[in-house]
Structure 1
């Protein structure tokens, strides 16, 4: 088996061998090497303890050294190449951990063999190693075969593996999304039977795995695997809840299937690195996933076999905010995704009756920096199979976007303000600061949105007219 190994790995292996220590490249880098995928960071394990290999790593990694993982037997270093790029490595002493059933944090115990270390890895495709510098390939659990088949299987009994570290269940789903693999039946059954164990994992770690799933090449596959395994019932229950029972007398789209289509379409609408929504965009993908989660709570059966979901946008925005906060997403992400969910139906009225310029300005103002994402979410949400309706919708969206471009050539949407500021309002009306000034300011802002920029005299006349009507 021929391996294209980074020269830094060979060099480091030689340094360890000179001191009488074993060193092996392990885990993801070996897997990615066999898949011909780039791997920027290198993970190693060694027979040496941290105190023994620290001098080697410090002398090799002259451009950076860290020891935050020392208590777990891990030290890291950075070495820059002549072209300015760098290689980052982490080296860990062979491990043979014991786990507390009430925690996924192991009681660290150093091992004495490479095979023993590999046995504690999450999946066989990550339990392969390459000894350096002699390039001996080590695969005690059949990872090569599983890699060729695209199978995820644990190197030891899956129930024991997930009992030790429940986060491995989420990692299985992540590899479905990232690598396009499928979970071996016995391993999949173990996940389904042990989903409750995910409850001992911190929200932050669950969130991080969910983010990796959504930012992968196949986010839909990952979400479907989350739902099929039962994990979503615990970490994102609003998504499996979209599988609404279809009443034979009432017709509506299967909301879960629709959501998966919207997620696919939103991903396809992301842009290149120089575009307005560079791929992969977590905000857009979260909004696509969550945009209809208000439907189960708002479903109503109407006369004539119709089903309605009135105000599901507003209800969904509240549910989105609650769920993302529970998963400890940053505040700006919570607010941005919630806002997109709240606004995702806003454009639909334009299709029936094109808006005035003032309505277009309000749409852009309300969307703010989310304007490009909102338009992509709106387009992705139009999943009708009726070609005429689809073409009408696309044409309306194209028209609205062109009107926005034309309006932006005349005025700066990003800084729309009333033609009169608060101080001018106080001076012109001869009033003191207070609630009336705020009301006047809001009226003049609405007037500005309706009329666009106007001459100063016209703005003054409108302010006086409005103020007179308040008395």
Structure 2
């Protein structure tokens, strides 16, 4: 009880009066029983607002009213001297704590500890055998009505299963299959948040596949339906959708082994992907990277092959619309869309004979999506195992990708983020008018800058003179 009681003592130890009937509920109880670090502490009681006012006054804290979820009254009490120290207090639902727990989502979240004097906790209250399900590793819904009341709980079932490496009870899966379409009634922002949490987990792929088996994933992403059964010809051993699921799985294998694969740049790569939501956005892009294929399908019977010309561009636009629908930020929308839209460029750039300046130009234009796209295509190539695929190309592409990541951190990163040494205004002053010739000249100057041939404005202007005199 050490960590939990230490937190509670901070808030309740200084109260002059007896502690009211207040209970620790939800994730704090679950995580305490699992011996996991406590992220948040949620409490319920009668007269929640009055209790929080008393706590705020006694503990030099601020009272912040907010909605923990739509329509649910909640109060956050935040330490004025330590902003990361807070507790959330909500009104007790129903006649007593048992009624409150019975209205929750899953048995593992439907347990409580009563708070005693000085922040001590009493005996576990567990009316739905949540502790037993924790021990067995089972996510079990309290009822089908629980999911009808808040359909987001269907998605949360898979997130919890991934987070704790638990299985979802068979009866709960039946509930999800029956109520899957209710997910479309949930606010897009809530679906987005839960989905990104799921994709942030190291091994989300099996749970995305399980969600698809229930039909829930297709309700969130109806665009995947045409991908199912869409044959890809001899280069692939799976249809478009099963290939996409395999790409997500392969990508997670790569991401979970970066220290070995990208030695010594594993920590650098994790730092880049650790930026806000970068990792789940990459995984979402992997899952949907071929969403444009069905509309670009062309069966060339006379040549006995199948093509999908332009599917990367079409897929990028589709992903842009999907991400907007999920209310992702503008930056997240563009990261996902550009990663999907550019993934075939990586495939082509890794082939023999491509000029270094062509690679450097694409890298510069890729910006923040460069590493994301390289990682996606590593997983894509490793998932292309048809009888007409080339095993040697898989080996060569893997090696090229590793070299590219190493080169990025060793040399390219500072070069690619640097500003152009000169601009169109500089060329105008030399009598060069705006137009294709100016654009071509600026591109040559930038290529020389990327290659390390010039490093100052003066050197760039001298190169302009040389090029215009030829």
The normalised TM-score by structure 2 is 0.83
How many residues end up aligned between the 2 structures? 437
Question: 1:391 maps to which residue?
Answer: 395
Answering whether residue 374 of structure 2 is matched by residue 375 of structure 1, we say yes
Contact 2:24 2:44 in 1 (8 A): yes
Change (3 A) 1:400 1:221: closer
Question: 2:141 maps to which residue?
Answer: 154
Q: Displacement of 1:222 after TM fit? A: 3.1
Alignment partners' CA distance in 2, 1:296 and 1:440: 40
Change (3 A) 1:406 1:124: closer
Residue of structure 2 aligned with 1:421, choices 392, 402, 423: 423
Contact 2:66 2:73 in 1 (8 A): no
Residue of structure 2 aligned with 1:125, choices 94, 99, 108: 108
Alignment partners' CA distance in 1, 2:236 and 2:268: 42
Change (3 A) 1:79 1:420: closer
How do 1:164-179 residues align onto structure 2 when only pairs under 5 Å count? 164-179=149-164
Contact 1:45 1:94 in 2 (8 A): yes
Contact 1:360 1:400 in 2 (8 A): no
How do 1:11-160 residues align onto structure 2 when only pairs under 5 Å count? 12=11, 18-19=17-18, 21-46=20-45, 48-69=46-67, 72-79=72-79, 86-95=84-93, 111-133=94-116, 134-155=121-142, 157-158=143-144, 160=145
Contact 1:249 1:305 in 2 (8 A): no
Larger radius of gyration: 1
State which drifts further: 397-406 or 24-33.
Answer: 397-406
Question: 1:287 maps to which residue?
Answer: 285
Q: Which has the higher contact order (CA 8 A, sep 6+)?
A: 2
Gaps of 5+ in 1: 96-110, 431-435, 466-471
Question: 2:8 maps to which residue?
Answer: 9
Answering whether residue 168 of structure 2 is matched by residue 183 of structure 1, we say yes
Question: 2:272 maps to which residue?
Answer: 277
What SS does structure 1 have at the residue aligned with 2:78? Answer: strand
Contact 1:25 1:42 in 2 (8 A): yes
Alignment partners' CA distance in 1, 2:25 and 2:375: 41
What SS does structure 1 have at the residue aligned with 2:173? Answer: helix
Q: Displacement of 1:85 after TM fit? A: 8.6
Question: 2:262 maps to which residue?
Answer: none
What SS does structure 1 have at the residue aligned with 2:434? Answer: helix
Gaps of 5+ in 2: 259-265
Question: 1:301 maps to which residue?
Answer: 299
Across the aligned residues of Structure 1 and Structure 2, the Cα RMSD in angstroms comes to 3.1
Alignment partners' CA distance in 2, 1:398 and 1:249: 27
Q: Displacement of 1:125 after TM fit? A: 0.7
Change (3 A) 1:61 1:191: farther
Contact 2:14 2:59 in 1 (8 A): no
